[in-house]
A and B are shown apart, each in its own frame.
Chain A
Amino acid sequence: MANKSNYLNQYKNIFGKLFKTNVFASVKLTIFLMSTLISIILIGAWCPQKSQVGMEKVTEQFGEQNALFLDKLGITDIFHSNFFLIVIALLTINMIACSMQRVFPKYKLYKKPLLFFNSNQISKMPYVEMGEFSGITPVQAIDKLKLYLEQKNYKVNVNGHQLNAQGSKISKFAASVTHVGLLSLLFGVTITSWTGFSGIEPVGIGQDLDFSGSEHANYWFGHLPNFKVRLNSTSKESYASGQVKQWYSNLSVIDKSGKIVQNQTISVNEPLSYHGVDVYQSNWGLNSAQISFNGNKRKLMLRPMGAIWATFLPLEADTILIMSFKNEKEPLKLFAKREEWSAPKLITQIPLHGSVNLGSVKITYDKINPVSGLQYKSDPGLPIVYFAFGFIILGVMMATLPYSELYVCIDNSEGENKKIIIGGICPKAPSQFKNLLNLLLNSLPESNKIGQNNNSIQSNLASSLIPK
């Protein structure tokens, strides 16, 4: 019993230390996890993924033995591997921990006014300009600097002979907005994974798409729709060169009572949407042709051969009859190929519903059956994902603005020449910031520089000024 209690205390200590040392909120961990993720992505991009292109492609690229070895290592499906998921999970925990500890608390500082610092404190800042001026009083100088900074969109506060200013204050929250976006993205993707579904099916004219063959995650608690999508017609449009320009499919949505509730012609980039389900034109092909031989109807299955579809009919031991189809409108081309010929020879062309006599056989081209590749999906997390996309874009755009804090203190001692010290921080654009400090000093009458300080290794004071 006592031993068990000791073990528990030991574990408590370890976890307590982990959290005390902010292991999960460490930027070093972020960088390590990002680097690991980059390495995984590079490997995944290098090796064809079997979930996308099939294991055949992996075998074709690396040979059977190597492909099996890569498959054993999990590299052929690396984006679904436990290792990848663990890295993503750790990065999420890291992002949440960083956001909670450092990023989100910045909101508390939004309305908190900046402090005013004396000459000694300003001199320890990363970028400092010291100078003298004459001809105007310290209050007039502060007013002049205030006006100058306000023209540069700085938010300025004045306290006697001291001044502080903040530039691009909004960029302080860039990280918060981006992190909210990234966390929302993960949330949206999780919702889709648990409740969404997707699939792709070749559908012939007059056939229905009923979503029964859809794919979804293991832990799924969504439901399939109770409507069907019927393919009324489909066609291919080509450029004059023969290259495919577009595929079209006319679809009807049929509800459970059999009523047509929506009709739409879709094409690539123009999907149909109905009750949260989207149907896309994914590809197009010719499935089969109906040909009559002396009046006997036969359905011949077609094989894709690049830009055409064809069927092969062996006539004799060394002769093959080839029927080639370009699309659903153009005539059938009839070729013959004998072993001794280097290429097939065109015998004739038969238009749709037309016939030719080949010896004693009358061949009639009755019908062609195109097939439309329809892809579909239901993505309930999509609104959250779009919201996340918006936040991420907004966050990274806010980050382009360089946040800066600027402090001025004028020595109020007796005498003609007044001493001034200007300093501050601007981690994102130090060079421009140093120019600004110079310009501020030069804007004062009869000014001259008496010193400069670049504490390029940021001082403790500067570090304390920037909330991490």
Chain B
Amino acid sequence: MQAWQIALTNTAGISSFLSLWAFILSYGFKQLNSLLCKAARWIMSIGFIALTLAIIIRGIEAQRFPLSNLYESILWFAWSVMGSYLALAKFYNIKQFGSLACMLALTMFLYGSWLPLSQHEISPLVPALVSYWRQIHIPPLIISYALFCVSGLAAFAQLFYSGRIVSLSIMALTVILAASAIGLGTYSSVESYILQILFVGSSVIGSYLGFKNTNKEMPRLVNKNQASLYEDITYRCVTVGFPLLTFGIITGGLWANHAWGTYWSWDPKESMALATWLSYAAFIHLKIHRECKNNTLSIVAIIGLLVTMLTYLGFNSLGFGGLHSYGRFKDM
């Protein structure tokens, strides 16, 4: 049973890798573009089915709902990224955006596979997690985080098709630096305060420069239809992710009230989920009330991506404490 689960998870990881290459090749071979994109989507679909089966088998083997530690949450995250891309591809007929989705899923597979073996093993639950609330509270949160990340990627695509290459480059570098801080926090023994400075410093400076350069345009890259399409996708992902995040936070409150007698305790992870909620609430207000231009809104969506990264992986890997230690595996 365990061998099947590992084989299926590996199949999903390899599918993301192959799919990514098919998308990359489709950029180079214009004549085969449509065929390669179709092949990439099929490969991704196979990976998605394999990962679905892997998660189900893990649940059967563990005799519980398979979402209780960082490794399992990463499988769910990758599953949500793949699923949301396939759904978007169906509704919006988008093609090469899949390369970004594949890259994100592949990064998560690699991140998960490098975690210590204790994370991969099926372990018994601590008393606090023995509750039916676990399967109600956690999946919507993980899926919402995945959707916010896809939304952030769509915002990058929007900046690209708007010709905002300077802003795009700054924000891409910012996300890479922030992700590096998380990676170093997970796999190295670099001091936590250095990583916190790297994450927060790059995010603040990058966001400021990103906003400042939104007016710098490269006209030859502008494709208004595509920019509008990705603006739409950015917002649609947020509008689906936001209710899921709300549901996840509220059910977390209900669970905490049921188990500990308080629905809110300002635990760091709880607080960060609220910060993420407020970030996307601000994004939605800006969008609906048309308070800023589309390119500026894309920067806001990418800042949302940074906040989501900090909430989902950052707080555990950058050395913050809290009750939600399921995502932690190093002694702090």
Residues of A in contact with B (beta carbons under 8 Å apart): 27-28, 30-31, 34-35, 37-38, 41-42, 44-46, 48-49, 52-53, 57, 79, 175, 198, 239, 241, 243-247, 267-269, 271, 278, 280, 282, 375-377, 379, 382, 385-386, 389, 392-393, 396-397, 399-400, 402, 427-432, 434, 454, 456, 458, 463, 468
Q: Is the CB of B271 within 8 A of A41?
A: yes
Q: Across the interface, which residues of A come within 8 angstroms of B231, CB to CB?
A: 430-431
On whether the beta carbons of A429 and B290 are closer than 8 Å, the reply is no
Task: State the main secondary structure of chain B at its contact with A.
Answer: helix
Which residues of B line the A interface, CB within 8 A?
Answer: 91-92, 124-128, 130-131, 133, 196, 224, 228-229, 231-233, 235-236, 239-240, 242-243, 246-247, 250, 253-254, 257-263, 265-268, 271-272, 274-275, 278-279, 281-282, 284-291, 294, 307, 315, 320-321
**Is the CB–CB distance between A267 and B250 below 8 Å?**
no
Given contacts A46-B196, A239-B124, contact A392 B246 (CB under 8 A): yes
A268 and B256 CA atoms in complex are apart in Å by 11
Q: Does B246 lie within 8 Å of A245, measured CB to CB?
A: no
Q: In the complex, what residue of chain B is closest to A468 when comparing beta carbons?
A: B289
Collect the chain A residues with CB atoms within 8 Å of residue B243's CB: 393, 396-397, 399-400
Q: Using Cβ atoms and an 8 Å threshold, which residues of chain A touch B265?
A: 52
Within the assembled complex, what's the spacing in Å between the Cα atoms of A460 and B267?
46
Q: Which of B242, B246, B261, B267 contacts A377 (CB 8 A)?
A: B261
Complex contact A400–B261 (CB within 8 A): no
Cβ contacts under 8 Å, B285 to chain A: 27, 30-31, 34
Chain B hits for A400, CB < 8 A: 239-240, 242-243
Q: Is A198 touching B254 in the complex (CB atoms < 8 A)?
A: no
Contact of B266 with A269 in the complex, beta carbons under 8 Å? no
Q: How far is the CA of A171 from the CA of B97 in the complex (A)?
A: 29
Chain B residues near A434 (CB-CB < 8 A)? 228
Cβ contacts under 8 Å, A49 to chain B: 266
Q: Are B246 and A393 in contact (CB under 8 A)?
A: yes
Q: Is the CB of A42 within 8 A of B275?
A: yes
Across the interface, name the chain A residue whose C-beta is closest to B243.
A396
Chain B contacts for A402, CB-based, 8 A: 239
Q: Give B181 Cβ to nearest chain A Cβ, in Å.
A: 14
> Quick one: closest A residue to B300, CB to CB?
A31
B258 and A79 form a contact (CB under 8 A): no
Listed from nearest, the 3 A-B pairs whose CB atoms lie closest are: A431-B232, A45-B268, A377-B261
Residues of chain A within 8 A (CB-CB) of B268 are 45-46
Chain B contacts of A393 at CB under 8 A? Answer: 243, 246-247, 250
- Please, could you name 12 A-B residue pairs with CB atoms under 8 Å apart, sorted by A? A38-B275, A46-B320, A49-B266, A52-B266, A52-B267, A53-B321, A198-B262, A269-B130, A269-B258, A271-B261, A375-B260, A385-B263
Inside 8 A of A397's CB, which chain B residues have their CB? Answer: 243
For the complex with contacts A41-B271, A432-B232, 6 further pairs of A-B residues with Cβ separation under 8 Å are: A53-B321, A271-B259, A375-B261, A399-B239, A427-B287, A468-B289
Whether A268 pairs with B291 at a CB distance below 8 angstroms is no
Expressed in whole angstroms, the Cα–Cα distance for A397 and B246 within the complex equals: 9
A8 to chain B, nearest CB (A): 36
Check A45 against B289 for contact (C-beta < 8 Å). Answer: no
Contacts of A430 in B (CB 8 A): 228, 231-232
How many residue pairs between the two chains, A and B, have CB atoms under 8 Å in the bound complex? 150
Is the beta-carbon distance between A37 and B124 smaller than 8 angstroms? no
Task: Tell me, rounded to whole Å, the shortest Cβ–Cβ distance linking A461 to chain B.
Answer: 14
Chain A residues, Cβ within 8 Å of B267: 52
On chain B, the residues within 8 Å of A247 by CB distance are: 127
A389 & B232 in contact (Cβ 8 Å cutoff): no
Give the complex CA separation of A70 and B228 in angstroms.
46
Tell me the nearest residue of chain A to B228, going by C-beta. Answer: A431
**Complex contacts, B258 vs chain A, CB 8 Å:** 269, 271
CB-CB under 8 A from A28, the residues of chain B are 291
Q: Which residue of A lies closest to B319 (CB)?
A: A61
When distances are taken between beta carbons in the complex, the residues of chain A under 8 Å from B239 are 399-400, 402, 428
Does B271 lie within 8 Å of A44, measured CB to CB?
yes
B126 contacts across to A, CB distance below 8 A: 243-244
Complex Cα spacing A454 to B92, Å: 19
Name the one of A376, A392, A427 contacting B261, with C-beta atoms under 8 angstroms.
A376
How distant is B237 from chain A, measured CB to nearest CB, in Å?
11
Residues on A with C-beta less than 8 A from B91 are 432
Q: Which residues of B contact A375 (CB under 8 A)?
A: 260-261
Specify which chain A residues have a CB less than 8 angstroms from the CB of B224 in the assembled complex: 454, 456
Q: Tell me whether A389 and B254 are in contact (CB under 8 A).
A: yes
Q: CA A278 – CA B274 in complex, angstroms?
A: 26
Specify which chain A residues have a CB less than 8 angstroms from the CB of B287 in the assembled complex.
Answer: 427-428
In the complex, what distance in Å separates the CA atom of A456 from the CA atom of B274? 33
**A38 contacts B260, C-beta separation under 8 Å:** no
Across the interface, do B127 and A48 meet the contact criterion of CB distance under 8 Å? no
Closest Cβ neighbor of B284 among chain A residues: A399
Q: Which residues of A contact B278 (CB under 8 A)?
A: 34, 37-38, 41
Q: Enumerate chain B residues within 8 angstroms of A278, measured Cβ to Cβ.
A: 261
Measured between beta carbons, the chain A residues less than 8 angstroms from B196 are: 46
Is A269's CB under 8 angstroms from B315's CB?
A: no
A38-B279 in contact (CB<8A): yes
Please, which residue of chain A has its CB at the minimum distance from the CB of B250?
A389
Contact A268 B128 (CB under 8 A): yes
* A198 nearest CB neighbor, chain B only: B261
Of B124, B242, B275, the contact of A399 (CB 8 Å cutoff)? B242
The answer for the CA separation of A400 and B279 in the assembled complex, in Å, is 17
Cβ–Cβ < 8 Å partners of A377 in chain B:
261-262
Pick the contact of B232: A280, A376, A392, A429 (CB < 8 A).
A429
B229 touches A243 (CB 8 A): no
Q: Is the CB of A382 within 8 A of B257?
A: yes
Bound-complex Cα distance A189 to B151 (A): 33
In the assembled complex, the Cα of A376 lies from the Cα of B253 at a distance in Å of: 16
Q: How far is the CA of A28 from the CA of B284 in the complex (A)?
A: 13
In contact, B259 and A268 (Cβ under 8 angstroms): yes
Residue among B125, B239, B265 having the largest count of chain A Cβ atoms under 10 Å:
B239
C-alpha gap A247/B260 in the complex (Å):
13
Hey, which chain A residues are within 8 Å of B260, CB to CB?
Answer: 280, 282, 375
